[in-house]
A and B are shown apart, each in its own frame.
Chain A
Amino acid sequence: MDDTWSFVTEQVIPGLNLGFWATVQLAVPSALLGLFTGIVVGVLRVYGPRPAQRLANGYVSFFRGTPLVVQLFCWYFGLPQICLFIESLGPVMGVLNALHLAWVPRLLVLSPMGAAILGFSLCSGAYHSEYVRGGLMSIRTGQIKAAQALGMSPMQTVLHVVLPQAVRRALPGCGNEIVYLIKYSSLASVVTVNELTGMARGIAKSTWRNTEVFFTVGVYYLLLVTLATFILGWVEDRLSLPGFERRRE
């Protein structure tokens, strides 16, 4: 037992603390970017012009319809190959060189962290947009008519009447997606990001002590999710209004 304790405190926890920061650096920007993407895409799907609706629906079916691991492989391993392909095209590079834009194809080569954040944000945004769409559709058309009757433009109606209510209605679902994101951030290890799960796997492999390592990493995730739940609850409280209460049993 003493041996287990010292193994955990001396070898597992210092390693996992590094991974913990990597997970936070992944999850926080991805959650914010994903939420923003989800709101924009959700609004486009409900109120956008026909072509924008189609595009947004296509985005959602693509990102919900393919495994996240596959998406991460595409961003991390696939994009650089497209970069190489572009650089192999003589005439294209000639034009880019003339314009001093030869560095542009290199933008497709993402760092592991960049690829993971891009992948998580886009995937998370697709799911958020579904919650936002539900929130938007729960707003009675009467309020939209009332806004129009006061002379509001469609944009003003969405910004000042529909979205503030829809976001409140969508919040529990979006919170769910953010909690889920914290856990699927573990997939970043497949594109070589040493986040919590990646570090844990490394320690377990070199010490052969799976039980201690994976139980400990489970506690880290539990703490992260508890913290996120607490923050989400605080946000819900801040946004709570009569008629939009956060109901507690």
Chain B
Amino acid sequence: MNDSDIILKVEGLSKAFGNKPVLQDATFTQRRGTLKVLVGPSGGGKSTLLQCINYLIPPDQGRVWLDGRQINPKSRRELSAYRQEVGMIFQDFNLFDHLNALENVRIALLKVKGMAKAAATERAMAELARVGLAGKADLYPAQLSGGQKQRVSIARALAMDPKVLLLDEPTSALDPELIGEVLTVIKDLAQAGITMIMATHQISFSASLADEFLFMEKGRIVEHGSPAELLGKDCCSRTQAFCAKLSELAGDAGQ
């Protein structure tokens, strides 16, 4: 593996709330253009790991490198520059409620990147078109469905040209019939070579796209490997057991 191929490196990230450790010694590297999938039970530390990576939750310990440069979270300027390069998709979308779809995508281009209005508008419209929402640019979050909101939030993140996209259970808050449209967009992104780390319970979907699975439990990464390794029929991994239980509950045994 060539070193310049590594876009993101995370070493020893740990976080405790009070006395309770929620993330312990998370370490991994990620190559350009790959998709890593975080699976595991709720409360296992998936969301904390993602939010520690871009310091939305400041980790107690650990270091992060993006494109070979170590991040210094103490410098506000550096942290802002780093966050611009790491997109984040949240479970409950977190669109800005007072801005319409176009303005949601455009605001960081204007205020953070300092782009001119015409150029920012053009870029924002292009990103909305990419997620299939060019016709909804004027609508406010209150007028969009959950799936549409999540696609706007993906457009908002993509407009910043991120080097890595973090997705925190992007379909968990959606009605079942709306999950498909968001998964289609994520699949397009994976095929376009966007580097992503995604926490999800959509096992069969992500198994077909992921380069690597990380299984997290009690704040630790307990297993990692390719989907084929971890989910193979004869494999007796924790990941396998967990995923089998998920699909049993979902009632699609033949995944």
Measured CB to CB, the residues of A under 8 A from B are 140, 142-143, 145-153, 156, 160-161, 164-165, 168, 241-244
Contact = CB atoms under 8 A, between A and B. Distances in A.
Contacts of A152: 80, 108, 111-112
Nearest to B54: A149
A241 B103 CA distance: 13
B108 A151 contact: yes
B235 to A, nearest CB: 35
B233 interface: no
A140 B83 contact: no
A150 B98 contact: no
17 contacts: A142-B94, A143-B95, A145-B51, A145-B94, A146-B88, A146-B94, A147-B96, A148-B56, A150-B83, A150-B112, A151-B81, A151-B83, A153-B76, A153-B80, A168-B98, A242-B140, A242-B143
Contacts of B160: 150-151
Interface in B62-110: 76, 80-81, 83-84, 86-88, 90, 92, 94-98, 107-108
A150 B84 contact: yes
Nearest to A168: B98
Given A150-B83, A151-B108, A160-B111, A241 B98 contact: yes
A77 B142 CA distance: 53
B171 to A, nearest CB: 16
B107 A149 contact: no
Contacts of B51: 145
B124 to A, nearest CB: 13
Interface of B: 51, 54, 56, 76, 80-81, 83-84, 86-88, 90, 92, 94-98, 107-108, 111-112, 139-143, 153, 156-157, 160
B68 to A, nearest CB: 20
A143 B94 CA distance: 5
B112 A165 contact: no
A244 B97 contact: yes
Contacts of B94: 140, 142-143, 145-146
Given A145-B90, A146-B88, A149-B56, A243 B97 contact: yes
Contacts, number: 73
B108 A165 contact: no
Nearest to A161: B96
A145 B91 CA distance: 12
B155 to A, nearest CB: 12
Nearest to B91: A142
Nearest to B77: A153
Closest 10 CB pairs of A and B: A243-B142, A146-B94, A149-B88, A151-B84, A150-B108, A142-B94, A242-B140, A151-B80, A151-B83, A242-B142
B111 A156 contact: yes
Nearest to B87: A149
A164 B88 CA distance: 23
Contacts of B111: 152, 156, 160
B83 A165 contact: no
Nearest to B153: A146
B90 A146 contact: yes
Contacts of B112: 150-152, 156
Contacts of B90: 142, 145-146
B156 A241 contact: no
A244 B98 contact: yes
A148 B83 contact: yes
A169 B27 CA distance: 43
A140 B91 CA distance: 14
A146 to B, nearest CB: 4
A143 B97 contact: yes
Contacts of B86: 149
Given A145-B56, A152-B108, A243-B141, 7 more contacts: A143-B95, A143-B96, A147-B96, A148-B56, A150-B108, A160-B107, A242-B142
A1 B43 CA distance: 80
Nearest to A152: B112
A244 B97 CA distance: 9
A166 to B, nearest CB: 10
| Highest count of chain B CB atoms <10 Å: which of A149, A156, A160, A241 | A149
